[in-house]
Amino acid sequence: MGAPHGHALHYHGHSPLHRLPAHVKIVALVGYVLAVVATPRGIYWPYAAHLLALACAVVVSRVPFGHLARRMVIEVPFVVFALVLPFVATGERVAIGPIEVSQSGLEAAAALLAKGTLGVLASLLLAATTEARDIVAGFEKLRMPQPLVQIMSFMLRYTEVVAADLARMRIARESRGFRARSARQWPALGATLGTLFIRSYERGERVHLAMLSRGYTGRMPTLRPLTATGAQWALSGILPLGCALVSLTALVTT
């Protein structure tokens, strides 16, 4: 349970982005997202500049584009909402072929799709170049409240443990001839989830008692203190500051 987790997102490498401390990359990600969000609606060239800058960061990281593209499916709900928005929004209507849609809804959908895609891609790049445990350590370095840091830490440690419990329960059901083919099997699936919740709750109590017996006082020990040089801060600031300048130019010229 103490092994590294998050391998599904992390891409092992030794690029300059991989070597940057986690808290430095988190600050750069937040700055980049704020710059993208500040882009005024109805102007589209800044999004192309933001995407080009992010693509350069991906090239520097040496993370394959396919590795990131496969994980972009997490954005599908936002894409669906953006596609529906022009049809349900009110306001002046414009014709796109034989279909009339809301002009304000169309602009809002385009902005949502562009900003959401850039934000998700930047977050995936952070996850691909930073191990999950280092991201948690980075949040702690940035003085995030300890309860939130510890919640994230335990989630990373025990998500796979709970998933393994669920897999064993599935195997046990199927070995007894259970197949979930219709709604009549839902009560059995509900009982499985209830049992999983009870097991997880009891495990949490045992882990908490074990921590208290080892001197836990409400703060986890820091195993690897994070430090950053001025050069690393300067390198991480290139992307967010450049994109902030693009967004500011777009605001001034509107």
What is the Rg, in whole angstroms, of the alpha carbon atoms belonging to the chain?
Answer: 23
> What single-letter amino acid sits at 204?
G
Q: Where are the beta strands (DSSP E) in 87-243?
A: 93-96, 99-102
Gap between the Cα atoms of 138 and 21, Å rounded: 8
**How far from each other are the two terminal CA atoms of the chain, in whole angstroms?**
54
Write out the chain's pLDDT in tens, 254 residues.
Answer: 444 444 678 888 899 999 999 999 999 999 999 999 999 888 889 999 999 999 999 999 999 999 999 999 888 888 888 888 888 887 788 877 788 888 888 888 888 899 999 999 999 999 999 998 889 889 988 988 888 888 888 888 888 888 889 899 888 888 888 777 777 778 888 888 899 999 999 998 999 899 899 888 877 776 667 888 999 999 999 999 999 999 999 888 87
Beta bridge partners, 96, equal 99
User: Beta-carbon neighbour count of residue 65 at 10 Å?
Assistant: 11
